[in-house]
Structure 1
Amino acid sequence: MAFATIQYFSRSLMKASAFNIIFPDDPAKARPWSTFYLLHGLSDDHTIWARRTSIERYVQDFPLVVVMPDGGRNWYTNAQEGYAYEDDLIKDVVGLVERTFPVRAEREGRAIGGLSMGGYGAVKLGLKHHEMFCSVNSHSGAVGFLQADPKEGKKLSPEFPRIFGKEPKNGPEDPFAIVERIDHGRIPAMRIDCGTEDFLLQQNRDFHKFLEDRHIAHEYQEFPGNHNWGYWDEHIQEAIAFHTRNLKIAK
């Protein structure tokens, strides 16, 4: 596999930004490749997945591109007051990748996943832009923070009110509300996992039950572990296997 950092000007953010990318360097790997957009958590940046996991080694046998964008602390959302990080990913990053690399520019060629804030982002974006992504995964996702008291969200992330407004519950960025609004037949394949000692466990259980109650197909698993890189390095391997089953992979 080859690894690169792409520096680009984001028209959505009106500033310079960057993403890391892993892509096949073996000419025997068939093209076009499918793409896995892999999102970081609140306290990290676009470098963290490559620094803290063996993601490059885990995808070496697949004709798969892994794109690791920088979401700042903005919850992969167009803030009510601030930067448009959702547009940056959906328009600028995806657009640049698909203009530059020999990848499938279609729903069956795109997967999205992440951890914690990035788990929320992957679920939210995968549901909201279900015409773009065929497969979604979340590790230890903060999928229920918009359902909780906004004061709890602000404790974790002081940016919360600026990004989501005063009443985020059941709003346009709330995964629970998005599920209720969209055609359930178009929901991407979805995998959710969380550690049994993770402080976000109850949020994941609540979202799992919410999906079950609506008969929405998804995978849900709990494993021993906490909110840390030991857990994510282990379970990203299952996410890759999940996505490769759902993506159109060139033979």
Structure 2
Amino acid sequence: MSVRPHPFFSGALFARKSCFVYVPEGYDEQSEQRYPVIYLLHGMHGSESHWLQKGSAEQTLDRMMSSCQLRKCIVVMPNDGGYGQGTFYMDWYDGTGNFEQYFIYDLMPDIDKNYRTIQDMRSRAVCGLSMGGFGAFSLSLRNPGLFGAAASLSGALISGANVADNFARRDVGRMTGPVEGPHAKSYDLHRCASRRVSDMQRPALYFDCGTEDALHHMNADYHRHLDRIGYAHTYREFPGEHTWDYWTEHLPDALGFIEQYFGSQDQA
């Protein structure tokens, strides 16, 4: 069990980037074995090191794999692209950066090339907190066949209906363009789920939020929307605020859901 820095080049951003990669016990000795991969996304103002420094992710992964609560996996902790306060893992409307393309076409292929991942959606999941929760749902819902499961902790689950009220940033127009324009609508998580609900390759969704979190109403509203359109999902609420204490405590819940998804594919 170890965490390794992994540098790579992004053509989408024309920049040198890096991420951290957790490999499970026995990875180097069992040179033919391949592993499922989980991408763990940070929040706004964050970086690729925050899940390790603030969220005790390495210790949580060690503990869950040692106790067989989570199968041995490769876990990748990337940067969101490193622009401004946070990129939301989107391709920005104003052309500032192709942060979704960076993730899908640069980061993921480089991980698959350099690590022994199982290159199949049934063995690939994405999880994030806050802005990273939006990224996890956006990347999975917008790119069918890429991720089998997605999980969000205290996610900024923004739709066109609430972007103006809940997006506390002056550069929102640069990211999304006009709220009712095609670019914004393509990233609207309500619309993304509605477009994907009948797709056989739709991702399994898990999300939770603290009842004292400022984003609680947004998560509860997304839960109601998924119920209305008939998109099967798991939503949970816990006491807590928008803090690292909450995310550290409940990362095992998200990882446990991902393990359940992986297990369901074993039986398929």
Report the TM-score, using the length of structure 1 for normalisation.
0.93
Pairwise CA RMSD: 2.0
Kindly report which structure 2 residues correspond to 1:85-100, keeping only aligned pairs within 5 A, or say none: 85-100=99-114
Aligned equivalent of 1:74: 87
Q: Is the 8 A contact 1:30 1:63 kept in 2?
A: no
Pick which of 138-147 and 83-92 moved more: 138-147
The residue type equivalent to 2:91 in the other structure is N
**Count of equivalent residues:** 248
Aligned equivalent of 1:209: 224
Q: 1:225–1:30: structure 2 CA closer, same or farther, 3 Å change rule?
A: farther
Aligned equivalent of 1:148: 162
Q: 1:119–1:181: structure 2 CA closer, same or farther, 3 Å change rule?
A: same
Q: Is the 8 A contact 1:31 1:63 kept in 2?
A: no
Q: 1:185–1:214: structure 2 CA closer, same or farther, 3 Å change rule?
A: farther
Pick which of 143-152 and 102-111 moved more: 143-152
Kindly report which structure 2 residues correspond to 1:6-155, keeping only aligned pairs within 5 A, or say none: 6-26=6-26, 27=29, 31-60=33-62, 61=65, 62-71=71-80, 72=82, 73-81=86-94, 82-144=96-158, 146-150=160-164, 152-153=166-167
Q: Is the 8 A contact 1:184 1:216 kept in 2?
A: no
The residue type equivalent to 2:172 in the other structure is F
**Structure 1 counterpart of 2:178, from 157, 166, 174:** 166
**Structure 1 counterpart of 2:242, from 214, 221, 227:** 227
Partner SS for 1:232 = helix
Q: 1:188–1:152: structure 2 CA closer, same or farther, 3 Å change rule?
A: closer
Report the Cα distance in structure 2 between the residues aligned to 1:78 and 1:138, rounded to whole angstroms: 20
Cα-to-partner distance string for 1:107-140 (whole Å, 9 max, x where unaligned): 1111001011000110111111131101110000
Q: Is the 8 A contact 2:194 2:229 kept in 1?
A: no
Q: Where do 5+ consecutive residues of structure 2 fail to align?
A: 66-70
Pick which of 106-115 and 185-194 moved more: 185-194
Aligned equivalent of 1:175: 189
Q: How big is the shift at 1:55?
A: 1.4
Q: Where do 5+ consecutive residues of structure 1 fail to align?
A: none
Q: How big is the shift at 1:152?
A: 4.3
The residue type equivalent to 1:19 in the other structure is C
Q: Is the 8 A contact 2:22 2:74 kept in 1?
A: yes
Report the Cα distance in structure 2 between the residues aligned to 1:47 and 1:211, rounded to whole angstroms: 32
Partner SS for 1:147 = coil
Check if 1:185 corresponds to 2:194.
Answer: no
Q: Is the 8 A contact 1:126 1:132 kept in 2?
A: yes
The residue type equivalent to 1:210 in the other structure is H
Q: Is the 8 A contact 2:159 2:189 kept in 1?
A: no
The residue type equivalent to 1:3 in the other structure is V
| Identical residues among aligned pairs (%) | 29
